[in-house]
């Protein structure tokens, strides 16, 4: 993991979380699934004026009320406590009570009207012989409030069917204006500025909007006593506005690297005008070459600091403005230029950057990498001034000669025969070039690309992650990836799953050609992508044949 001395921002201790519980009350409306939302007080300390699902903090009495509640065999004590808390909060805030009489009749409105919503909840239920229907409450999601907020909650989002014959009535203190809405309508009203929603509510509504009925939601939730997803979002800035990013989204790893304690300071806009600091010793400048194959553009990285000088990784295309910005971001002090491979969006800028450094009176930095092979693309011929050796270390040293930043060279053929990745040893960072991308899978195009080599290189990177405790991957396209080993494992699983579809297509059409097989193997991809997908398809076909054919 990155050294504390290299973090951009001072350490910040997030506010502690408070245990809470939230209940999504659902019903089937005339036009589909509906959920109950209610408006929080404008004076509330947390999310004032927002429309939310009912819920609140756990009380000590909730854990002491297990004897009043029914439970499923799989519900542990903590889950039962959360279910009881959610039932209690729904009653206190909205007058909705998930409870049954001794003869298994649901409580009715007259029963609820006889209860004091400010009184001792458990005692009143016990006095009337009511059983809390905790066994009808299921976990849907688990949300932990963003680290940058002063008030934070650790809260399960649970789901239950709204009992027949009951009507929500807000307490007019904490909650106001209960309303039944289809998830899609709630989101539309939020987009129109009519309904204020916070991030966990929005994401949960997005999920609910894809569900057909209450039965469908409860069936999915009942398959496990665990939440369907768990998230502690991270905040950043995009287009001048705060955004919340979940763990599965592309920018999460970058926020985790740049602001590990949740500081709301990092901007996620793609930046070609100036370098973006990721650590004190790592900057990224994205070339202004966005496109179908390059995404937001090619990422050039600078590793080092003013005392050690810098190594430039992937200077990108030969674009004068981009090269000059890269040179300025390094203060003109570039000690070496490394090209991860020879493709035209990675290596052509190396010569211009080298010349620019030399013209300003500094020693000429060598251009390093591996030479393109005989099967490389016609636009990808590259000959470095010195070939790197697998396992070689490039060291940037301080004034006393001590190594401060060490880049280890890893030969990773697959995307291209001359592809290398670089490991920043002291900080556990992997510069992956095009071998691992964020937001897409790299193309493996024969003859220079080879799928056997590609998968073998993934295995090697997994071993490197374990040995060096690599936490983050810095790709040539896209944001920083967190959970490095998991990202590589997911990528390998995706490749093997695609290969299984390729083999199935070959079995279905044994006399077919690439154009026939791509329709079956990439039926989940837009047809406009098939010409590119066909390149990797060919690599999969060659690998399948090398293993003995599609019947193996």
Give tens-digit pLDDT for 188-236: 999 999 999 999 999 999 999 999 999 999 999 999 889 999 999 999 9
Q: Which two tokens stand for residue 418?
A: 């001359």
Do residues 387 and 514 both lie within one domain?
no
Do residues 444 and 531 both lie within one domain?
no
Do residues 28 and 126 both lie within one domain?
yes
- Which of 457, 486, 515 terminates a domain? The answer is 486
Q: Is residue 246 part of a domain?
A: no
Q: What is the pLDDT of residue 253?
A: 98
| Cα dihedral 520, 521, 524, 527 in deg (nearest 10) | -70
Do residues 431 and 515 both lie within one domain?
no
Q: Which two tokens stand for residue 158?
A: 């649970």
The tally of domains found in the chain comes to 3
* Residue 386 lies in domain: 270-486
Q: What is the pLDDT of residue 385?
A: 96
Q: Which two tokens stand for residue 81?
A: 């406590």
Q: What is the mean pLDDT of the chain?
A: 95
Query: Average pLDDT in the 259-267 region?
Result: 96
Rounded distance, CA 26 to CA 456, Å? 49
Give tens-digit pLDDT for 418-428: 999 999 999 99
CB 282 within 8 Å of CB 429: yes
Do residues 332 and 223 both lie within one domain?
no
For the chain, percent of residues with pLDDT exceeding 70: 99
Do residues 324 and 200 both lie within one domain?
no
Q: Is residue 176 part of a domain?
A: yes
Q: What is the DSSP string of 187-221?
A: HHHHHTTSS---HHHHHHHHHHTT---HHHHHHHH
Do residues 523 and 422 both lie within one domain?
no
Q: What is the pLDDT of residue 551?
A: 64
Do residues 513 and 537 both lie within one domain?
yes
Q: Which two tokens stand for residue 250?
A: 């592309």
Rounded distance, CA 18 to CA 344, Å? 52
Do residues 307 and 227 both lie within one domain?
no
Q: Is residue 446 part of a domain?
A: yes
CB 457 within 8 Å of CB 498: no
Q: Which two tokens stand for residue 120?
A: 């001792």
Tokens 């050796």 locate to 389
Task: Pick the closest to residue 179 from 191, 188, 167 (CA basis).
Answer: 167
CA dihedral sign, ordered 277, 260, 234, 152 = negative
**Do the strands 429-433 and 472-475 form a parallel or antiparallel pair, or are they unpaired?**
parallel
The domain that contains 46 carries what CATH number? 3.90.79.10
Alpha helix ranges (H) inside 339-419 = 349-359
Q: Any bridge partners for residue 305, and if so which?
A: 309
Do residues 352 and 387 both lie within one domain?
yes
* The model's pTM: 0.93
Q: Is residue 146 part of a domain?
A: yes
Name the helix (H) or strand (E) containing 328. helix 320-329
Q: What is the DSSP string of 118-184?
A: TS-HHHHHHHTT-EE-GGG-EEEEEEE--TTSSSEEEEEEEEEEPPTT------SSSEEEEEEE-HH
Give tens-digit pLDDT for 321-330: 999 999 999 9
């Amino acid at each position: 993991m990155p050294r504390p001395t290299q973090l951009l921002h001072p350490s910040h201790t997030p506010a502690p979380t408070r245990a809470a519980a939230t209940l999504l009350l659902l019903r089937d409306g005339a036009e589909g699934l509906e959920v109950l939302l209610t408006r929080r007080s404008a004076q509330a300390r947390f999310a004032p004026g927002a429309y939310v699902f009912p819920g609140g903090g756990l009380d000590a009495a909730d854990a002491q009320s297990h004897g009043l509640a029914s439970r499923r065999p799989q519900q542990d004590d903590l889950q039962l406590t959360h279910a009881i808390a959610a039932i209690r909060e729904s009653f206190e805030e909205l007058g909705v009570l998930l409870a049954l009489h001794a003869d298994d009749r649901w409580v009715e409105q007259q029963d609820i009207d006889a209860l004091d919503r400010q009184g001792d909840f458990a005692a009143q239920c016990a006095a009337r012989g009511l059983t809390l229907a905790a066994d009808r409450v299921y976990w849907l999601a688990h949300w932990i409030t963003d680290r940058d907020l002063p008030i934070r909650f650790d809260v399960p989002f649970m789901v239950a069917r709204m009992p027949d014959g009951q009507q929500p009535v807000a307490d007019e203190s904490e909650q106001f204006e209960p309303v039944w809405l289809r998830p899609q309508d709630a989101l539309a009203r939020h987009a129109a500025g009519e309904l204020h929603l916070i991030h966990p509510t929005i994401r949960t509504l997005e999920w609910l909007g894809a569900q057909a009925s209450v039965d469908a939601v409860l069936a999915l939730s009942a398959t496990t006593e665990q939440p369907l997803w768990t998230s502690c979002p991270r905040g950043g800035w995009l287009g001048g506005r705060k955004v919340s990013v979940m763990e599965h989204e592309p920018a999460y790893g970058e926020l985790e690297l740049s602001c590990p304690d949740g500081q709301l300071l990092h901007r996620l806009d793609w930046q070609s005008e100036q370098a973006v600091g990721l650590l004190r010793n790592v900057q990224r400048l994205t070339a202004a070459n966005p496109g179908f194959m390059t995404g937001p553009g090619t990422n050039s990285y600078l590793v080092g600091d003013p005392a050690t000088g810098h190594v430039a990784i992937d200077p990108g295309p030969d674009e004068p403005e981009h090269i000059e910005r890269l040179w300025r971001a390094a203060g003109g002090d570039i000690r070496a230029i490394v090209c991860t491979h020879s493709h035209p969006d990675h290596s052509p800028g190396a010569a211009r950057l080298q010349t620019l450094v030399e013209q300003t009176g500094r020693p000429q930095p060598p251009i390093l990498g591996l030479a393109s092979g005989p099967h490389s693309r016609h636009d990808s011929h590259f000959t470095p001034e010195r070939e790197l050796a697998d396992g070689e270390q490039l060291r940037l040293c301080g004034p006393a000669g001590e190594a401060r930043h060490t880049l280890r060279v890893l030969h990773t053929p697959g995307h291209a025969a001359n592809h290398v990745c670089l490991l920043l040893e002291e900080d556990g960072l992997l510069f992956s070039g095009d071998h691992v991308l964020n937001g897409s899978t790299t193309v493996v195009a024969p003859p220079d690309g080879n799928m056997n080599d590609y998968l073998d290189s993934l295995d090697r990177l997994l071993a490197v992650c374990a040995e060096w405790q690599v936490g983050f991957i810095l790709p040539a396209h896209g944001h920083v990836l967190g959970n490095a080993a998991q990202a590589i494992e997911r990528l390998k699983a995706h490749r093997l799953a695609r290969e299984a579809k390729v083999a199935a297509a070959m079995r279905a059409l044994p006399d077919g050609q690439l154009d026939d097989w791509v329709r079956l193997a990439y039926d989940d991809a837009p047809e406009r992508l098939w010409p590119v997908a066909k390149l990797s398809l060919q690599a999969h076909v060659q690998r399948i044949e090398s293993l003995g054919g599609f019947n193996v």
